[in-house]
Amino acid sequence: MLKHPTIEKLANMGLTGMIRALEMQSQLQEVHTLSFEDRLALLIDAEFSERDTSQFTKRLKAAKLRDNACIEDIDFKANRGIDKRLVAQLSGGQWIKDHRNVLITGKTGVGKTYLACALGQKACRLGHTVLYFRAPRFFQELTVARLKGNYQSTLARLKRTHLLILDDFALVPVTEEQCRDMLEVADDRSGAGSFIISSQLPVKDWYQTFANATLADAILDRVVHGSYRLDLSGPTRRDPEHGKKE
């Protein structure tokens, strides 16, 4: 008698995980051997798992990662210089809580984007908000935001994001305006958020790509200091037909 109105009440409260678990329990004879507390615990676990999965899906969609990548699929056997222990350490996510950065360098096609996206996907799984940009698009969006009059709100959105991924950084010289933009973002995130930055250039060569040397010093001090480094090597892993790698 209580099943139908109970399900309606659960639906009104948005407890869809509990509804599915309750319906599953009704089809299992052995569930009646469990105590009330055990059955309730199963319902709560189901609801928690459903909400966790839903929130992860939303975070992953909002991140707009370029590659559908995950830590578990990284090929550590290939000779690319990937530090397996460091990747395992980073997959725990403590570096994001500590507001530290990860810098990934290496020639084109060695898997920098895949690794960055895999770390981003794991961050989403750990409950962190993530945003992915190719660096040229990132600077373009900030320029457009300035022209549209929503520059400050864009900076605020970036500041709220736990992990900001900038891919293909320093492929082209960083202009004076882009230096100022990068300093604003880096300053906002210093001690408050994390970067993953990937680049074909070694970190030691980033300085020379900035149009303003003074701003370059300030930016790199905030980004490079205390960062984790992953320098990838080896031949390209890019599929010549599809342009994909890993």
Write out pLDDT tens, residues 41-68.
Answer: 878 777 777 777 788 899 999 999 999 9
Of 6-15, 86-95, 108-117, the poorest mean pLDDT is in 6-15
The pLDDT score that the predictor gives to residue 238 is 62
pLDDT of residue 60: 96
- Is the separation of the CB atoms in 152 and 183 below 8 Å? no
Q: How far is CA 196 from CA 59, 131, 152, in A?
A: 17, 10, 22
User: What are the boundaries of each domain within the chain?
Assistant: 3-62, 64-231
Closest CA relative to residue 183, chosen from 141, 155, 149, 146: 155
pLDDT score of 3? 62
Q: Nearest 5 degrees, angle CA 193-CA 198-CA 204?
A: 100
Quickly count: other Cβ atoms within 10 Å of residue 97's Cβ. Answer: 12
Q: Which residue has the higher pLDDT, 78 or 126?
A: 126
**Where is pLDDT greater, at 17 or 244?**
17
Render pLDDT for 185-196 as a digit per residue (tens, 0 to 9). 999 999 999 999
pLDDT of residue 239: 56
- Listed residue (112, 104, 101) closest to 67, CA to CA: 112
Q: Which CATH number fits domain 64-231: 3.30.200.20, 3.30.565.10, 3.30.1540.10, 3.40.50.300?
A: 3.40.50.300
Q: Are 183 and 215 in contact (CB under 8 A)?
A: yes
Q: Which ranges of the chain does DSSP label H, i.e. alpha helix?
A: 3-12, 16-26, 36-63, 84-91, 94-97, 112-125, 135-148, 151-160, 176-189, 213-224
> 22 by DSSP, 3-state: which?
helix
Vertex 97: Cα angle to 93 and 98 (nearest 5): 110
The whole-model pTM stands at: 0.81
Q: Taking residues 223-229, report their average pLDDT.
A: 96
pLDDT number for residue 129: 98
Q: Which of 26-30, 117-121, 156-160, 192-196 has the lowest mean pLDDT?
A: 26-30
Q: Does 109 or 24 have the greater pLDDT score?
A: 109
155 pLDDT higher than 70: yes
Q: What is the pLDDT of residue 241?
A: 47
- Bigger pLDDT: 94 vs 8: 94
* Distance between CA atoms of residues 225 and 100, nearest Å: 9
* Predicted local distance difference test score (pLDDT) of residue 242: 41
Q: Which amino acid is at 3?
A: K
